[in-house]
Structure 1
Amino acid sequence: MSDHAHFDLVPLDHVSVTEAAAWHQVVVASMIHDLPGVPPPSPGQIHARLTKPTLDSRQLNWLATGEDGVRVGVAGLRLFTSPGRDHLAELELHVDPAHRRRGAGTRLLAAAVAACRTEDRRSLIVEAPAGSPGEAFCERWSFRRVLTLEHLILHMDKLDEAALRRVGDAEHPGYRLTGWTGTVPDDLADAFAAAKNAMNDMPVGDLDYGSVVWDADRVRAMARVIADRGDSLLTLAAVHDDGAMAGYTEILVPEGASSRVQQYDTAVVPAHRGHGLGLWLKAAMVGRLRAEHPGVVEIETDNAEDNVHMLAVNRELGFRSYRRTREYQLDVPSV
């Protein structure tokens, strides 16, 4: 290929198995180059991500193909549809390292920005590993850096067992732990939704991520989306004697025999903060993972760098920083 190669951009209205496999190949090549040590998604996970419904959003996808028919880049644009976030779009863009700096990324970005204008989206957000070519690409095209995320790993075989017992044995008068897999039990659904709304005060830097209002139907819908992808969602909650849910923590166990799981939300409702509930919940989740998923060896989480309280909780439990990502935002001009 020349330095200014020709690329065809193919919108993927209905993603085939072959197209999903091509997408997976590009993503794996990109991640191996930019994120060594981070396990790439499996072919099944990519296929599910491209074909299964999402919550309060829809997705536009493009595949960039070179003159020789080689698939060189992919872009997925998530368009949020719920009130409070319907001005937002989120972009995932990958170019195979062997085909970079020849215009494929620029073509894919131009298609995404044009779609944002058509869909009346004023904010486009994208995540890039710190120090990566993706970060330089964002800065080149006038994205603003709005948030830095610390990614942390907890190695299950390096846990401080004494600290874990100390946290687990601590008394929390007036509170009890309860847990479930998948959909929240009906008798806890309203309380869980109320606790979910506590996430709205989470530090997000200058990121314009809108707001989400949770109710019982929405928490059930989220669980269905995750189950339809083939993943499992484990939840532990601290419930107060008055029936209110004081806090919760969630772990996503990916489809297949994954040794690394992802921390989803951990939140403590403002009225119940200061009692050590966040640390208690996360320590209890470690115990649950050991009992129910003994093949898990690592838990990955991320926190905004200014979320000093949750970073302190994670580090006390034994999480250690291992990489950073940046959130970038483009203010999309109207047509």
Structure 2
Amino acid sequence: MSLSVHVHPLQRVTLAEAAAWHRVVAASTAHDLPGVPTPDPGQIHAQLTRPALGSHRLTWLATGADGIPVGVAGLRVFTSPGQEHLAELELHVDPAHRRLGTGSLLLSAVVAACRTENRRSLIAAAAAAADSPGEEFSERHGFRRALTLDHLVLRLDEPAVADLPRITEAEHPGYRLTGWTGTVPDDLADAFAEAKNAMNDMPVGDLDYGSVAWDADRVRAMAKVVADRGDTLLTIAAVHDDGTMAGYTEILLPQGSGPRAQQYDTAVVPAHRGHGLGLWVKAAMVCRLRAEHPGVVEIETDNADDNVHMLAVNRALGFRSYRRTRELQLDVSAD
């Protein structure tokens, strides 16, 4: 154990502290996940200083004897009903300073905070690979494997993408497509919230993730959180003739992220499944991106490896697997 590393909590994160955090994350990501884009300094600062939906954040910075940042830890403490047992960990150690005890010191601070916050479950993500340092570290500290995610990327210049307008234009009797940017229109807010609740039956493996009840106020609050940190949220939805929102898909355009968009939720309400609506709304979103955001050249998404239906939809669109991650969970209720 390194005695020269000091771990201290960050209260109001300054620009300098956010820059230090970014340096550690950039070094860690480049080493462990080559080819995966690193959030830019502005995104990191927004992440650390802007409120998240249904949670609050605790952060720690580890520095060496010379004051150089060597590790960071962030804890998202969930506060929404149905998730009050849960916290989520992000931990990075600069590769040049690993195996000196820094990660263990940071994790000790995080676990103590979880117990103070009366949380019983701590979840974290790590690359799923035989030589994954994150997975090895997590399992050594008592985390168990709970879920495997398949990460996929769609290049918008792939030949298969040229055929998507045909899918978008196919008739779906009784349904129509609509879309918006940012906050849902008032006349669709209640229907959108109801559709959001369909995410509660998505496959989560053995992850003790809980569930969230959505209403119109919550979907508006989510859109505000995204806008306040400088990101853009695009939504395409399928609406039934009776006014029910049957399904939807969301894409996030991170501020300053360049050519890669991030898939957010895609869901089809159980009563409307079996009509190809998931493929329909996602194809329409790809067409919208190509028309309105030509600077976006690829979309990244992830699916639980047992989410057979959505994986089939994504592969039909042209998504291809490029890496896998593991969701890990630690019981922090015991001493």
Category of TM-score, reference length = shorter chain: over 0.9
The aligned counterpart of 2:166 is: 166
8 Å CA contact retained: 2:91, 2:103:
yes
Identity of aligned residues (%): 75
Which letter maps to 1:146? A
2:288 maps to 1:288 = yes
Match of 2:269 in 1: 269
User: Which position in structure 1 is the counterpart of 2:244?
Assistant: 244
Q: Tell me what 2:44 maps to.
A: 46
Which residue, out of 70, 73, 78, partners 1:72? 70
User: Matches of 1:168 and 1:258 in 2, distance apart?
Assistant: 26
Structure 2 partner of 1:108: 106
2:157 is paired with a residue whose SS is: helix
Q: What residue in structure 1 maps to residue 140 of structure 2?
A: 140
For residue 25 of structure 2, what is the amino acid of its counterpart?
A: V
Displacement of 1:166 after TM fit? 3.2
Q: Where does residue 187 of structure 2 map in the other structure? A: 187
* C-alpha RMSD of the superposition: 1.0
Deviates more, 1:93-102 or 1:127-136: 127-136
Q: Contact (CA 8 Å) 1:73, 1:104: kept in 2 or not?
A: yes
Task: Note the C-alpha offset of 1:157.
Answer: 0.8
Q: Alpha carbons of 1:48 and 1:162: their partners in 2 closer, same or farther (altered >3 Å)?
A: closer
Q: CA offset at residue 4 of structure 1?
A: 3.0
Secondary structure of 1:252's partner?
A: strand
Q: How does 1:1-335 map to 2 (within 5 A)?
A: 4-131=2-129, 132-161=132-161, 163-256=163-256, 258-334=258-334
Normalized against structure 1, the TM-score is what? 0.98
Q: Secondary structure at the match of 1:98?
A: helix
Tell me, in whole angstroms, the C-alpha distance in 2 between the residues paired with 1:5 and 1:99.
13
SS at match of 1:295: coil
CA distance in 1, matches of 2:159, 2:126: 30
Q: Secondary structure of the residue that 1:160 maps to in structure 2? A: helix
- 1:121 counterpart SS class: coil
**CA–CA distance in structure 1, aligned partners of residues 16 and 72 of structure 2:** 14
The one-letter amino acid of 1:201's match is D
Contact 1:5 1:66 in 2 (8 A): no
Which stretch of the first structure deviates more once superposed, 165-174 or 175-184?
165-174
Equivalents in 2 of 1:236, 1:222: separation in Å?
A: 16
**Residue segments in structure 2 that go unaligned for 5+ positions in a row:** none
| Range 157-166 or range 67-76, more displaced | 157-166
Amino acid at match of 1:16: T
Q: 5+ residue gaps in structure 1?
A: none
C-alpha displacement of 1:169: 2.5
TM-score (norm 2): 0.98
